[in-house]
Amino acid sequence: MKTRRIGATDLRVSQIGFGCGGNAGLMVRGTAAEQELVIGRALDCGISYFDNAPDYGDGLSEENLGRALQVLKGRPIITTKVEVRAENLNDIADHVVRSIEGSLRRLRLNAVDIVQIHNGPVATPPDLKGRDYKTLWIEDYWRDDGALDGIRRLLDSGKARYAGVVSRGNDATELSALLKSGLLHLVNVPFTLLNPTAGHPKPAKLNVDKDYGNIIGIAQAAGVGTAIFSPLAGGILTDGVLTGSGSHPLARPKDPSTAKAERELLVARRFRDLAAEHGLSIVHLAYRFILSHSGVSTVLGGFSSVQQVEDTVRAVGEAELLSEEMHQQIHRLWNGQPDNAARNGA
CATH code: domain of residue 315: 3.20.20.100
Mapped onto helix, strand or coil, the DSSP state of residue 191 is coil
pLDDT in tens, 156-190: 999 999 999 999 999 999 999 999 999 999 999 99
The pLDDT-based confidence of 345 (bands split at 50, 70, 90) is: very low
List, in order, residues 6 or more apart from 38 with CB less than 8 Å away.
26, 30, 303, 304, 305, 306, 309
Is 148 domain-assigned?
yes
Q: Which residues are paired to 50 by β-bridges? A: 18, 78
Domain count, the chain: 1
Cα separation of 313 and 44, whole Å?
11
pLDDT in tens, 4-16: 999 999 999 999 9
Considering the chain, what percentage of its residues have pLDDT values greater than 90?
82
pLDDT in tens, 231-287: 999 889 998 888 876 677 877 776 666 657 788 899 999 999 999 999 999 999 999
Task: Supply the mean pLDDT for the chain.
Answer: 92
Mapped onto helix, strand or coil, the DSSP state of residue 214 is coil
pLDDT of residue 64 exceeding 90: yes
Is 254 domain-assigned?
no
Is 57 domain-assigned?
yes
Residue-level pLDDT at 317: 65
Can you give the pTM of this predicted structure?
A: 0.93
pLDDT of residue 31 exceeding 90: yes
Is 20 domain-assigned?
yes
Residue-level pLDDT at 346: 39
Q: What is the 3-state secondary structure (H, E, C) of 110-162?
A: CCEEEEEECCEEECCCCCCCCCCCCEEECHHHHCCCCHHHHHHHHHHHCCEEE
Is 173 domain-assigned?
yes
- Comparing 239 with 59, the larger pLDDT belongs to 59
Residue-level pLDDT at 342: 42
The pLDDT-based confidence of 341 (bands split at 50, 70, 90) is: very low
Is 264 domain-assigned?
no
Is 122 domain-assigned?
yes
- Please measure the distance between the N-terminal and C-terminal CA atoms of the chain and give it in whole angstroms: 35
Residue-level pLDDT at 32: 98
Is 317 domain-assigned?
yes
Residue-level pLDDT at 54: 98
The boundaries of the domain holding residue 295 are 3-235+291-322
- Comparing 205 with 76, the larger pLDDT belongs to 76
